[in-house]
Amino acid sequence: MKEYVKQYFSQFDVLVISILFAFGFLWLIPDMHRIHVWMALAIGMLSYAVSEYLIHRFIFHMTPPKIRWLLAMLKRLHYDHHVSPNQLNLLFLPVWYSLPLIMLAGCAAFFITKDFSLMVAFVTGIMGYLLYYEWTHYIAHQPVQPITPWGRWMKRMHLWHHYKNENYWYGVTNPALDLLFCTYKNEKQVNRSSTARNLEQNDMK
């Protein structure tokens, strides 16, 4: 497992988010006595957990657009990952995508709270959960079994999404919204999709 931890943190996009997360956490230490700071951290984490499913299902699996630059962006963000699920440089969300979204979320948090520390706590929660998401996703595509039963279940579920049917099992870190929106199915009852490895064919659906 040590070699996988080393490889994970050696990825540029993971390293950048890790450094920013560390700075955010250190900034918050003087305010850790405030319950609202812990609430903002938790809300940030929950926000990413929800957006993980929504973005994966409705944006990353959208009908391939005709606009070339948008198609190129989606190919890098997700389509090509389905073509080559284990290709390392396609496993992680690039910072040119994640950082602008984090900044927008931070601006929204500051607009609502008018409190800089709560804004930092919110985006630190987002980045913390993003790192958890990236690790869970990375391990799902490595030839190693996760340590916990939960991790092994989520890995199995994610691989069904890639190799059985791309229209189910969108959650990477948790199945809550799959269960809520009926995209969690018994794997044995789901037909194998001919487009699981080529999302660009989905414009024929």
Classify residue 44 by burial, with Cβ atoms within 10 Å: 0-12, 13-18, 19+: buried
The pLDDT assigned to 200 comes to: 87
- Which pair of structure tokens corresponds to residue 182? 């009926």
Quote the pTM value: 0.94
**How many CB atoms neighbour CB 119 within 10 A?**
22
The pLDDT assigned to 76 comes to: 97
Tens of pLDDT, residue by residue over 165-205, are 999 999 999 999 999 999 999 999 999 999 999 998 864 44
